[in-house]
Structure formats: C-alpha cells, structure tokens
Amino acid sequence: MVEPYSLSLAEMIARIRQKKLSPLTLMESVLKRIDSVDPLIQAWVTVDRKGILKEARIRRDEISRGQTRGLLHGIPIGVKDIFYTAGMKTTAGSKVMEDFVPSYDSAAVQRLKKAGAIVLGKTATTEFAHADPAPTRNPWNQEHTPGGSSSGSAAAVATCMCPAALGSQTGGSVLRPAAYCGVVGLKPTYGRVSRYGVFPFSWTLDHVGFFTRSVADAAILLGVLAGYDPQDPSSSKEPVPNYIQLGRPGRKRLCIGLVRAFYGEKSERQVWSHTEKIMAKLEKAGARIAEVEMPPSFAAAQDAHRTIMRVEGAAFHEKLFEQHQEKYRPKLRELVQIGMLIPGVDYLRAQTIKRLFRREMEPVMQKYDCLLTPSTSSPAPGGLASTGNPWFQVPWSLSGLPTIHLPSGLSEEGLPLGIQLIGGTFEEGKLLAIARWCEKVLQFSLFPQVG
C-alpha cells in the first residue's frame, strides 16, 4: 500500500479532490514520516504540529461539504526559514533572529494559503541564506552536504517529508541543493514570483524558487506563485500562462544549446561524461544539440555577481551587524566586512556588466529552445563545513533567466547527478514543457532510502 506521504503533489491534489484522501490523513502520514526521518536529516527548524493538525481538520471538513479553497486544498508545503510566516518563527538560520515572529505572511506564503495549502513548517537555511551551513544532512549520504542555502527544503522534498517546499536563489541556492539531493528545482525569471516578506540577501539578484519531485508538480506550484505583486517593486506585470497545461516543448525538432565554455573545463570528469551521455539520449530521442557561443560578458559574470552580492548583502546587514556582530557566523561576517569596503565605482561597474550580460543573452536565447549544462561541477562534496560551489548557477542568477534542474543519474559514489536547462525570459511554460519531455526521455526516478 502506498503511504500518503510518498504521493506526488499532483497525486495528492487529485485524491483529495476525489475524496479518496482526507487532508487530515495526509497530514498525519506526513508528520509520521517527519518523526521517522528528520532526526537523521535535520531538515526542519519548526514544525507546528498542533496548528497544522487543526488546519487539516478544517480542510477535511470543508472538502466533505464540497468546499475547496483552491488548487492546493489540504496540501502540506515546506517553507524556507527566510520567508515571513505570521505567528510562526522566522529565524533566517541565525542567532540574530532566533526569537523573531512575524506579524504577517510573505507574498509567496499568502498565495500558498489562498490556494488552500497548509504551511507544514520552516525548513533549515544557511545563515541569512549565505554560506554558513545549516545542520541538514544529505539524504543520499549523511556525510555529504545537501547544498545551500535552501538545504532543508531540498532534503525534505527528497525524503518525502513534504511534496514541495519553497526556497530562494541569489547565487545557486535552489538549483545546487536540488542537484545534490536529487529533486527537481525551479528558479523562475527574476520578477516572476514576488519576494515581498522574504529576508533579502541581494535585492537585484534574489529569486524565489522551489523544489518538487517532478516537472508536473513544479508547473502546479509555479501557477500558484507566479504573478504581479504591487508590494514588490521588482515584480513583473508579464501575464501568467497556464503552466499546468504543458504545451509543445519548442519548434518541430527541439534545438538544445550546449554550453561548453566554462562548464566543460570546470566539471569533474564523471560529471561531463554523464552530461555527454544525457545529450546522446536526448539526440536519440529527436533533439538537435548544438554548441553555444556565449557572449563576451559571460566571462565577467562570476566577478560581477560576487561584487553585487557582497555590496548589497553588506547594505542590508549594516545596522544589524553594528548591533549584533558577535552573533554573526564567520562566512556571513566576512561577506559583510568585505562588502563594506568595495568602492561604489566597482559596484556600478558590476551592475553595468549584469545589464550587458542580460542584453547579450537575448539573441543567444532566440537561437535555441533552451540551453543545457551540468547542474554542478561535482556530486555533493563530502563534509558539512561547506555547501558546495554555486558557480554553475551564477550566470543564470545574474541574467535572471529561468532555470530548472532535472535529476538524471547517479555518480560513481551513488550520489545524484543532473542537468540544468535554461530558458528565455518569462518563458517558463516552454521551459517546463521541454523539461517534461527530457524527464520522460531520461526516466530517472530514484530517491534516497532513508527511514
């Protein structure tokens, strides 16, 4: 018998709508799973057992009367601990905020609740979504990092403690943990999802993203979260299509651009070899693979991103740092101190490079249905002092282009490997359709055996 906690997001939705699964039964199953697995994985900071069981009973009674609040009625969702949640602690993984309880919900949480979802709890994050690790363990091997900064969200989804969870990405904080934990991770276009009520790290780089166990589930969640929000000045008024009805992935013969520059030389041998095998499978299935010539500004992307992140991170933390410097962990403390020393002219130059890179990527993206790279340069590194390197995601965080990670195999050590697909600005619908096609071709559906 299939346990309710192991169902996909789409399956949970369908069974609740058909009255084959009670929201209360689902919540009890999920809590039992958390009790079994989380002592080992440590993905959760807060789980509001009393509150969520109360909400599940309300959703159960509503569905029994034929009432639903929305698409996610009764669905438990994890939320990274940098998203404001009214009445629930939001600590940002830091001693600085260890007692902070917001009085309102972030925009993303508001949309989840409006759709009928139940916030299961808060998932572990690196300190203020930077580099000082959370206690979370990689579910495939507990001696390896799960990635960061959305460590808990990725690990919770990978171990079926929730069907989906919110994360955020400034450098590589959605795609990298998705890759290390072997789940689907989606970072939409910059401005596609509101960041209102989310602790900022870098205002011009931060993206709201999320984790699921399939592309179809990612399409469902994006449909709930996407759209203009007047509370967020960077939020886009671009119309939101129906992502759930995934259309054709592209032109008659799918054209995928392989980015060899930087990625080929920085990948470990087994990672690039795996990527080549994936490309061969996609070609055999009918796609055309062509090598991409990246624009000149690509070479400066890493440095520009680092400068912007440091300066904007220091700007946000300036007053908190003055008051609570002793509570800051080493890596965030170093970033703030360095960011305060970077000259304004260097910051403006980095912003100029960012704008140039975004502009130069537009004609590149018009030539292909999507771009493809390995998601990470290596499988999840051993040890828990680091969350791994975000450099394979940095160009797409800087450009603001939508990016999705797909699990595609296992390394020689039995750790997840995967590919990331990059789409055109606000072309998430097309990107999801391509990702779904790739998912069907690759047929990778392994999950870690925990608990």
Instruction: Give the residue numbers annotated as catalytic, written as ranges.
Output: 80, 149, 173
Q: Please enumerate in sequence order all residues whose Cβ is within 8 A of that of 102, keeping only pairs 6 or more positions apart, or say none.
A: 84, 85, 86, 87, 88, 90, 197
Instruction: Compute the distance between CA of residue 189 and CA of residue 329 in angstroms, rounded to an integer.
Output: 31
The crossing angle, in degrees rounded to 10, of helices 215-225 and 107-114 is 110
Q: Are 204 and 151 in contact (CB under 8 A)?
A: no
Helix (H) / strand (E) containing 258 = strand 255-258
C-alpha dist (Å) from residue 59 to 48, 64, 331: 16, 9, 43
**Residues making up the chain, counted from first to last:** 451
Place of tokens 């129906």: 242
Residue 420 backbone dihedrals phi, psi, to 5 degrees: -115, 140
Q: Please enumerate in sequence order all residues whose Cβ is within 8 A of that of 273, keeping only pairs 6 or more positions apart, or say none.
A: none
Buried-exposed string 170-181: b where 16+ CB fall within 10 A, e elsewhere:
bbbbbbbbbbbb
Q: Which two tokens stand for residue 447?
A: 């999950």
- Cis before 8 (ω within 30): no
Q: Comparing C-alpha atoms, which of 158, 176, 206 is closest to residue 400?
A: 206
Neighbour tally for 240: CB within 10 Å: 17
Instruction: Compute the distance between CA of residue 412 and CA of residue 304 in angstroms, rounded to an integer.
Output: 34
**Paired sense of beta strands 184-187 and 207-212, if any:** antiparallel
